[in-house]
Amino acid sequence: MPFVSIGGVTLHHRAIEATGTSRPIIFINSLGTDFRIWDDIVAQLAGEMPMLVYDKRGHGLSDIGGGVRSIDDHVDDLSALIDHFGLDKVVLCGLSVGGMVAQRLHARRPEIVEALILSDTAHKIGTAESWNARIATLERDGIEAIADGIMKVWFTPDFHTNRAAELAGCRNMLTRQALPGYIGTCMAVRDADFTDSARRIAAPTLCIVGDRDGSTPPDLVRSFSELIPGARFEVIRGAGHIPCIEQPDALANLIRDFVASLPEGKHAHG
């Protein structure tokens, strides 16, 4: 199991090599998940492009280190991970808070971000009131108290009805997250407003949303995409907040087509 310690934080990751000189793509998971949410995407794209998945700080098997106070804590880890692997140009694919991490890394180090794939995310997610209410519930009752409500925004009613075993597994993934990592990341999202920096994104950008997303609804993601110069906007049918699990074929096809459309260039990857 690959682990790397960066700045006192041990990160769990998996690198998937590919032949040729294709640009590497890094996947950044959402709140309350780990990198296993990308398994079906990685399986579909294996051999076509180098990929890196990792558990962000305080999630999955990664350390919480000194805690999470802002999106920048997650960006610090990702930035150091990119340097650790000696990558000079990357495509970032972030889901939900992972998309905010991707936006912020672009703002800090635009020269290494070749393109952005922003799935079910926005320049600002939720309100201070909604996040504070969630945090209060978490501090009082733990993740279990909100798990069923989260499942309703993560997945469509059809998924609930027909994929009960997967639903149970995803619920387990959520409720077994470390509470401090989850709460800290809630606070980070609450305090993040990337409206201005979205307008300055210069990299080619694809914004994607599930048509039944209850967390970052299609209208929000569309308005977000309109802030970003030249961004492409796509809706995945029959998906909630986590298309990489619910509709991996559709998402993999969008990623494949988008990466193929990028300008050719020299790409180093380790």
Each residue's pLDDT tens digit, 184-202: 999 999 999 999 999 999 9
The arrangement of strands across the sheet holding 3-6 comes to 3-6, 9-16, 51-54, 25-28, 90-95, 113-119, 205-210, 232-236
Cα dist. 27→23, 150, 238 in Å?
13, 21, 22
pLDDT for the residue 7: 86
The pLDDT score that the predictor gives to residue 1 is 74
Fold of 3-261: Rossmann fold (3.40.50)
Read off the pLDDT of residues 5-59 as tens digits, 9 standing for 90 and up. Answer: 988 899 999 999 987 667 899 999 999 999 999 999 999 999 999 999 999 999 9
Each residue's pLDDT tens digit, 133-163? 999 999 999 999 999 999 999 999 999 999 9
What residue type is assigned to position 247 of the chain?
A: Q
- The residue type found at 156 is T
- Predicted confidence (pLDDT) per residue in 187-241, tens digit: 999 999 999 999 999 999 999 999 999 999 999 999 999 999 999 999 999 999 9
Provide the terminal-to-terminal Cα distance of the chain, rounded to the nearest Å. 18
Nearest to 42 by CA among 24, 63, 58: 24
Q: What is the pLDDT of residue 270?
A: 39
Residue 68 CA: distances (Å) to CA of 23, 127, 179, 252, 268: 30, 19, 11, 30, 31
Specify the pLDDT at position 21. Answer: 65
Q: What is the pTM of this model?
A: 0.96
